[in-house]
Amino acid sequence: MTSVPPVAPTADDPAALVALLRELVEIESPTGTPGVAAASAWTRARLEALGGTTVLEDGGHLQVDFPGGGAPLVLLAHTDTVWAVGTLAGMPFRVADGRIHGPGAYDMKAGIVTILAALAEAPRPGDPARRALRVLITADEEQGSVSARPHIAAAAAGAAAALVLEPCLPGGGVKLHRKGIGRFQLTVHGRAAHAGTQPSPGISAIDELARQVVAVHGLADPARGISVNVGVIRGGTAENVIPARAEAQIDIRITQQTQAPELESALRALVPEVAGARHEWTGAWTRPPLECSPGAEQLFAAAARHAAALGLQLDRGGSGGGSDGNLIGALGVPVLDGLGPDGAGAHATHEHILAASLPQRARLLARLLLDPGVA
Ligand SMILES: [Zn+2]
């Protein structure tokens, strides 16, 4: 970094916020690429210009602390995107019809810009009104936050609450709960044989897998928020060979942690229906559910009050998708997620935010940071 970047603009300068978002979107940062560290360095420089002290920078994971009173409030975001390097060429940053388009604009670089703009409005370090803040930016959220986990745990220690700047619900609503996610694989082992041999010594792994796909889908329980999706199947070698092996990749989502052992035992209790076939299960829960908590209710009440003062109605809800909010929530920290700007098209080519929402969310977050009653 050859020069110190200027302190980020506030919500009073929406055009400058758009320019800031453009800079960050134009650093392409799919998970696991050098762009993630570049986006992290860009963010670090701007957080330091706002008075923060970097306490961690590790492979794109970034924690910047702001001194102040009380237990720290964690602001959580991620720099990685799902978009490959080169996407910008065909899907450039552009503003049209009140929408800001670009890879990662909505999920969730606009959330990072929201943090910068809110901090630019917060009292300077040393001001008695300043509360302790801890900004954690993770680098592999889009691939399950495997390497971010220890950093999330460290940031959760002693934290009063976490505000997550992930995209909101359509229309601006925040997320008080999220589903937990399990990724499992069923491999069926059978025995190969010539398809024409009668009687056949073969054991068809595909026949068995087909039956188990039906059984696995039968474990879904929409009334309890349990969903099951066999998303990938593979198996067999040729049409004239009884297949010795077949496998299915399964996504299971739950709303309560107590459902995890229940589902796991249900999977393992599935008995082979084709004589001689054998099941092998692998996989794990990749994110615990974010369950609504009294602390989250309090955070929502404060956010709704501040939104109302800004002339906005703040709705609440949940999401079937996971975020780092699931991980920090599982550590006992109250979480309010979905505080990022409104928009649509996460992970899709029509990804965009609503331009008017960016200063609105920055103002809302700034008010939350200034409220000593928040957590
Ligand atoms: Zn995200």
Q: Could you tell me the distance, in angstroms and rounded to a whole number, from the CA of residue 208 to the centre of ligand 1? A: 37
Q: Which of 185, 257, 194 is nearest to 216 (CA)?
A: 185
Paired tokens of 327: 């991980």
Map out the domains of the chain as residue ranges: 14-178+289-370, 180-287
Report the separation in Å between the CA atom of 78 and the middle of ligand 1, taken as the mean of its atom positions.
7
User: What pLDDT, in 10s, does the model give residues 339-349?
Assistant: 999 999 999 99
The CATH superfamily of 14-178+289-370 is Zn peptidases (3.40.630.10)
CATH class of 180-287: alpha beta
pLDDT in tens, 241-267: 999 999 999 999 999 999 999 999 999
108 CA → ligand 1 middle, Å: 5
Does 79 have pLDDT greater than 50?
Answer: yes
Q: How confident is the model at residue 1 (pLDDT cuts 50, 70, 90)?
A: very low
Whole-number pLDDT of residue 103:
98
Judged against a pLDDT cut of 80, whether residue 4 lies above it is answered with no
Q: How far is the CA of 139 from the centre of ligand 1 (A)?
A: 11
Ligand 1: centre distance to CA 206 (Å)? 36
Cα(188)–Cα(204) distance, integer angstroms = 9
Cα distances (angstroms) measured from residue 207 to each of 198, 242, 274: 17, 9, 7
Tell me the C-alpha distance between 316 and 159, whole Å. 23
The model's pLDDT over 277-319, given as tens digits with 9 standing for 90+, comes to: 999 999 999 999 999 999 999 999 999 999 999 999 999 999 9
DSSP, collapsed to helix, strand or coil, labels residue 14 as: helix
For residue 77, the surrounding DSSP H or E stretch is: strand 69-78
**Which amino acid is present at 341?**
P
Ligand 1 mean position, distance from CA 230 (Å): 23
- How far is ligand 1, taken at its centre, from the CA of residue 354, in Å? 17
190 has a pLDDT exceeding 90? yes
The DSSP secondary-structure symbol of 203 reads B
Q: What is the pTM of this model?
A: 0.90
Q: pLDDT at residue 2 above 60?
A: no
CA 338 – ligand 1 centroid, Å: 9
**What is the radius of gyration, based on Cα positions, of the chain?**
24
